[in-house]
């Protein structure tokens, strides 16, 4: 049970081809396996911020309809409330992900994200040697999906500017080898 709701069986998600499964282990349902809750970093009456695991979609997507690691459904079941995604993180990306608990908060936060008025900071381990701080100005090209974007017109590149500065170097006195 997840928040007093019966979870669908694994067979519902993994056997969409209606093939016969003789493996008794496949009869174990999601109800029988405890689901690890998503880590909530912040929550109030209007907003929930979580630590999104790498490899998870924020919401269902035509890019991979078979995927079962969906943050929106899992968190909704975990907190027992309807949620509004405020922004997205790519599937391979982990990090802070925000959801609003009502439409007004979703609109307000969405407006801030669209206006780029929120400051976002990232920490990364990089391979190689970064000597000085700098800037990367590399627009993001839109990669059209054959199904989801077939009716969309031309889409301009999205501006993407990243300022960086090294915090430490492996092999230095900060991080000896």
Q: What is the pTM of this model?
A: 0.62
Q: Which helix (H) or strand (E) holds 112?
A: helix 103-114
pLDDT < 50 regions, the chain: 1-33
Nearest to 160 by CA among 130, 177, 139: 139
**pLDDT at residue 14, rounded to an integer:** 39
**pLDDT at residue 44, rounded to an integer:** 96
**pLDDT at residue 173, rounded to an integer:** 65
**pLDDT at residue 13, rounded to an integer:** 38
**pLDDT at residue 3, rounded to an integer:** 41
**pLDDT at residue 177, rounded to an integer:** 54
3-state secondary structure of 11: helix
> Token digits for 23?
């493996």
Contacts of residue 173, Cβ cutoff 8 Å, sequence gap at least 6: none
Rounded to an integer, what distance in angstroms lies between the CA atom of residue 9 and that of residue 1? 11
Sheet holding 39-43, edge to edge: 39-43, 47-52, 95-100, 84-85
**pLDDT at residue 40, rounded to an integer:** 96
Active site residue 44: no
Q: Which of 12, 64, 90, 149 is catalytic?
A: 90
CA dihedral (17, 21, 24, 25) in degrees, to 10, reads -30
Rounded to an integer, what distance in angstroms lies between the CA atom of residue 76 and that of residue 42? 15
């Amino acid at each position: 049970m997840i928040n007093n709701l019966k979870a669908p069986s694994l067979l519902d998600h993994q056997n969409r081809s209606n093939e016969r499964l003789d493996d008794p282990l496949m009869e174990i349902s999601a109800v029988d396996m405890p689901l690890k809750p998503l880590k909530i970093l912040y929550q109030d009456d209007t907003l929930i911020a979580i630590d999104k695991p790498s490899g998870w979609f924020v919401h269902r997507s035509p890019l991979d309809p078979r995927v079962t690691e969906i943050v929106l459904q899992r968190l909704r079941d975990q907190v027992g409330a309807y949620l509004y995604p405020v922004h997205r993180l790519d599937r391979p990306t982990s990090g802070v992900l925000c959801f609003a608990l009502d439409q007004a908060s979703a609109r307000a936060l969405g407006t801030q994200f669209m206006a780029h008025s929120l400051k976002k900071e990232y920490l990364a381990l990089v391979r190689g040697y970064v000597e000085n701080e700098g800037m990367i100005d590399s627009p993001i090209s839109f990669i059209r999906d054959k199904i989801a974007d077939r009716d969309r017109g031309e889409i301009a590149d999205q501006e993407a500017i990243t300022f960086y500065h090294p915090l430490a170097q492996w092999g230095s006195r900060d991080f000896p080898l």
